[in-house]
Structure 1
Amino acid sequence: MKQNEFINSMMVMLGAVLWGTIGTAQHFAPEGATPMSIGAVRLALGGGVLLLYAFLRGKLKGRDIFSRKSTYIGAASMASFQLTFFAAVLLTGVAMGTVVAIGSAPIFAGLISFAVNRENPGRKWLISTLVSVFGCILLVVGGDELSVNVYGILLALGAGLSYATYTASTKNLLDEFSPEAVTGIVFTMGAIITSPFLLIYSLDWLLTARGIAVALHLGLITTAFAYVIFSYGLSGTKLHKAVTLTLAEPVTAALLGVFLLKESLSTLSGVGMGLVFAGLLILSITRPKEKRA
């Protein structure tokens, strides 16, 4: 039981690690690739691939999933996350937008878990979340100047709430349906919601080899593959724990920035990275129960 719980936790973290490559991929995107267009393309390509994968695996049988409120809440939440997060980044900058959105998501997840599922997250989750969130703050803001914008902060909080809501609704669906069906249908519906942005912003950057490579990485690796892995892990992990484990995302982004983009890592950011690792370690390791005589 504990071994399966550990494996599920590692799958959730693997999904978060893959999401951590998004910023690096955007760095290599051609000029003219706006955050909104990149987000819409990512969701459209990823959703299409997930739906095709679910169809080929024979997981789209029946229409019961379309009668669940969680399906539509999940799709709307994923679309909302794309819009609020990228808008927050535009107003506040990458540092502030990221730290508020990612750092607030575990808090919202804990509140949703307690209010909806009546689950008490427990002392270990609280300690690990506080340590990881504080580490995330130090990691993201350690080397950057912050730009405070009230509307941007509210949008970033909306992004954190959207992501926590998506995770909660997805977990409810995973109790009845396969991860392939849930991700395929939810992401496709989310892509339909964000599809108008494909018409508003220029997609000329997709006509270049580098643009195609970036789109494929974002759609196939950071969306299709990452969310399937994440959903498999989420099916056997508590909501509040799963969202806290996704704080591995900013750590991955920071490491790629240092080793691939040759960015400098300040001492404060290094301490923050260590705190995030410590928090995730506290949450991932479970103490084996003593055998009764």
Structure 2
Amino acid sequence: MIPVLAVLAAAVLFGTTGTAQALGPDGSTPLSVGVARLVIGGTALAVIGLGIGRGQRMRQAAPPRLTRRAFALMAITGVCLAAYQPLFFLGTARSGVAVGTVIALGSAPVLAGLLEWALTRRLPSRAWMAATALATIGVALLVVNGGGSDGADPLGIMGSLGAGASFAVFANAQRRLMDAGWDPFTVAGAMGGGSAICGACAAPFTDLGWLAAPDGLTLSLWLGLATIAVAYTLFTWGLQRLTAATAATLTLAEPLTAGVLGVLVLGETLTDTAIVGLVVLAAGLVLLAAFSRAPRDPEPYAVEA
């Protein structure tokens, strides 16, 4: 149950991203906020993850070797985390925040489950299927509520689906690394370091002048430290005892959190359809939490709480 709570806590932190950005200073753009988030959060995650991971590896009887495959998987996690940012923001810019967000997050568990099946030939559990079905219905209700008369933009849909695919790929890549004996903190640290490098490469092409404002610095620190450094450490730790499909479905608590914060903090209103969607989405998460269990494969290492 603790891994489930860890992933849920990470999802709640993820869910604060939209509200924090909405309260940010004038002049901040989705791309510049994403770059600042990656550089600050990715660097902090690398320091925390690789630092703790070093101690984990020293306690292992046979620590894993950094093979070409392992290095490639670590690089994939960093690139996918960085790619998620512009794809996600493209989806929200073209289709709206509500539609773009739920398409990205709603597609992630489905794509993660399909990718995991393709890699392992192991079908997700019935509990995952039932929980994902409920969560998908809730997401669909939210899309109907937020789509407006014109519906979602095709390019925006592609961007959101790309973001969901990015999430699914790095979740499965992390799972493969941990199956090979890598501790979750090293995996998280490598992902953070790779994403920070990608963010630093994009920084010269974005306007970061808003960081000079006090609320701009506060925004960047929260988004970087809380929604990346802490959140992804919790997510990766929880992933070691859950399948990638289960973890991805649990992160659907992110739009649930975002919806609640939108009402309480930003003063947004929800239609009856949106409320029903949030309730159904929450029911899927409860079902998944109640029936979640560790993967059938034996653990290659132990992690101290």
1:123 equivalenced with 2:118 (yes/no): no
SS of 2:75's equivalent in the other structure is: helix
Q: Is 1:243 aligned to 2:248, yes or no?
A: yes
CA distance in 2, matches of 1:151, 1:287: 35
TM-superposed deviation, 1:198: 1.3
Q: Is 2:106 the partner of 1:107? A: no
**Equivalent residue, structure 2, for 1:12:** 7
Q: 1:52 aligns with which of 47, 68, 75?
A: 47
What is the CA-CA distance between 1:267 and the residue it aligns to?
1.1
- Residues 57 and 284 of structure 1: CA distance in aligned 2, closer, same or farther (over 3 Å): closer
Match of 2:176 in 1: 172
Distance 1:118 1:40 in 2: 37
Does the CA-based 8 Å contact 2:246-2:292 persist in structure 1? no
* Structure 1 residue 85: Cα displacement: 1.1
Tell me if structure 1 keeps the 8 A contact 2:127–2:291: no
SS at match of 1:90: helix
Deviations 1:194-239 (A, max 9, x none): 3233111111110011001100100110100000011110010011
1:94 to 1:66, Cα distance in 2 relative to 1, 3 A: farther
TM-score (norm 1): 0.90
Query: Which shifted more, 122-131 or 107-116?
Result: 122-131
User: Does residue 1:70 correspond to 2:73, yes or no?
Assistant: yes
The SS at the match of 1:285 is helix
1:59–1:178 Cα contact (<8 Å) kept: no
Deviation per CA, 1:240-261, whole angstroms, max 9, x where unpaired?
1111111000000011111112
- Deviation of the 1:56 alpha carbon: 4.0
Given candidates 212, 228, 231, the residue that maps to 2:236 is 231
Deviations 1:89-125 (A, max 9, x none): 2222212211211111111011011110222113221
> Which residues in structure 2 correspond to 1:179-218 (within 5 Å)?
179-218=184-223
- The whole-number CA distance in structure 2 between the counterparts of 1:182 and 1:66 is 14
| Contact map agreement 2:103 2:143 (CA 8 A) in 1 | no
**Is 1:284 aligned with 2:298?**
no
Tell me the distance in 2 between the aligned counterparts of 1:73 and 1:63.
18
- C-alpha separation between the residues in 1 aligned to 2:200 and 2:64? 24
Aligned-pair Cα RMSD in Å: 2.1
1: CA distance, partners of 2:133 / 2:10 = 21
Shift of 1:134: 1.4
Q: Quote how far apart the aligned CAs of 1:63 are.
A: 9.0
In the aligned structure 2, how far is the partner of 1:78 from the partner of 1:66?
22
Normalised TM-score (structure 2): 0.87
Contact 2:41 2:225 in 1 (8 A): yes
Picking from 125, 128, 149, the partner of 2:153 is 149
Q: Conserved in 1, the CA contact under 8 Å of 2:211 and 2:220?
A: yes
Matches within 5 A, 1:30-41: 30-41=25-36
1:140-194 deviation line (CA, Å, top 9, x unaligned): 5425626422222112111111100011101222232222211112121122123
5+ long unaligned stretches in structure 2:
58-62, 294-305
Q: Is the 8 A contact 1:65 1:71 kept in 2?
A: no
Equivalent residue for 2:297? none
Cα distance in 2 between the residues matched to 1:272 and 1:36: 29
CA contact 1:31–1:205 (8 Å) conserved in 2: yes
- Quote the Cα distance in structure 2 between the aligned partners of 1:66 and 1:192: 21
Partner SS state of residue 138, structure 1: helix
Instruction: Provide the residue aligned with 1:3 in structure 2.
Output: none
Could you tell me which of 22, 26, 37 is aligned with 2:21?
26
Deviating beyond 6 angstroms after TM superposition, the runs of 4 or more aligned structure 1 residues are 60-63
Q: Tell me which amino acid in the other structure corresponds to 1:210.
A: D
Q: Post-superposition shift, 1:57?
A: 3.2
Q: 1:141 to 1:194 in 2, by over 3 A?
A: farther
